[in-house]
Chain A
Amino acid sequence: MEGMRVLFVDDEDELVSAVVERLGLRGIHAVGATSGVEALERMDAEPFDVVVLDVKMPGLGGLDVVRQMNRRHPGMKVVLMTGHGSVEDSETGLSLGALAYLQKPVDLDTLIDILRTAATAT
């Protein structure tokens, strides 16, 4: 999906910069954020088709960000990812409206497939 706008959020800045650049090389407009607060600021500043959120982050975690997004940007598409497989977190995330819950490491081509599906979801 050419021109798709993605916000990729993870507290590991090296991961964010690499994924953002790789998505960019595939024609996806990707922007990075390294905290929940920065992610919400980015969303306030510009529109995105999909937000990819790490669940475990210092301060405002991914699930907290989704709760705030639902108030500030209702209908925003969200994909959650985590380094650990917490069933409880995944159930909470999906109940909050996340479209997918991914386990790290996430293969980039798989992520792009999921982003495309999420962006076109109604």
Chain B
Amino acid sequence: MRDSHRFRRTVPGGEALFGRLVAGSTHELTNVLNIIGELAGLQDDILRDAAAGDAPDSGRLAELAGRIHSQTDRGQELLRQLNRFAHSVDRTGEAYDVCDMLECLVALTERFARLTRTQLELRPPLEEMTLVGDPFAMLVAVSACLDAALGASDAARRIRLLAERASGAVRITVESGDPIPTAPPELLEAIDAAVGRGCGRIVQTPSSTDPHRFVLELSDVRSADVMTTEDTHAP
């Protein structure tokens, strides 16, 4: 973390999100290491049995090695996402790709969704939408919406995140297949404070007329206009 950001203003709810995602990720990494340990132990067992008589089954050992590699890939991807999340706090005022950050949030929230047997999906297919603002504050706001949706996950067990360009801003929708209870004032305040730090606003919260979605809108700090891929590459 760069020194200039060591004393950045805190984002309400930011510490809680950090703790939750780091705890979840380390639990997941424990599982990964546990599996690697057991698969390596199984290889040892096979080699030990072979030492006592038969030649080891090279095909079986290779199959186990492949499974170990799959787990190291899984662990590395989790660490990559955790690292991106950690560095989001020191990117205030820099350009960031909204979908890239949302992908990171979805990856780190996957464990919590799995525990409630909820399918978490990021839509549309990743498309670069660059903003200058506060990516960490954006993540705190979206995560609060996701938590509310996960807490209400019931029969449908499906939550989708949509990011789309809308009137010069980036609109983020958290949409649940199950109705989300009307958000309590303290949750709305927390989302509002975080999304405000991320240079945005709450457009819609779950209500009796539409209990299925939160909609947030983020603008570029430099202007009300969004700097898109086309903008950045325009001559």
Contact = CB atoms under 8 A, between A and B. Distances in A.
Interface string B98-123: 00000000000000001111000000
A56 B37 contact: no
B34 A15 contact: yes
B117 A12 contact: no
B31 A104 contact: yes
Given A18-B35, A58-B115, A84 B27 contact: yes
Contacts of A15: 31, 34-35, 38
A22 interface: yes
B114 A25 contact: no
Nearest to A19: B38
Interface in B65-109: 67, 70-71
A31 B98 CA distance: 45
A12 B75 CA distance: 14
A61 to B, nearest CB: 8
Given A25-B49, A58-B114, A84-B27, A18 B33 contact: no
Contacts of A108: 38, 41
A25 B116 CA distance: 35
A75 interface: no
B39 A105 contact: no
Nearest to B38: A18
B225 interface: no
Contact of A104 (B23, B30, B39): B30
B45 interface: yes
B36 to A, nearest CB: 9
Contacts of A104: 30-31, 34
Given A56-B115, A58-B114, A58-B117, A12 B42 contact: no
B41 A18 contact: yes
Interface of A: 11-12, 14-15, 18-19, 21-22, 25, 56-59, 83-84, 104-106, 108
Given A12-B31, A14-B67, A108-B41, 15 more contacts: A14-B70, A15-B34, A15-B35, A18-B42, A22-B41, A22-B42, A25-B45, A25-B49, A56-B115, A57-B115, A58-B114, A58-B117, A83-B34, A105-B30, A106-B34
21 contacts: A11-B114, A14-B35, A14-B67, A14-B71, A15-B31, A15-B34, A15-B38, A18-B39, A18-B41, A21-B42, A22-B38, A22-B42, A56-B27, A58-B115, A58-B116, A83-B31, A83-B34, A104-B30, A104-B34, A106-B34, A108-B38
Interface of B: 23, 27, 30-31, 33-35, 37-39, 41-42, 45, 49, 67, 70-71, 114-117
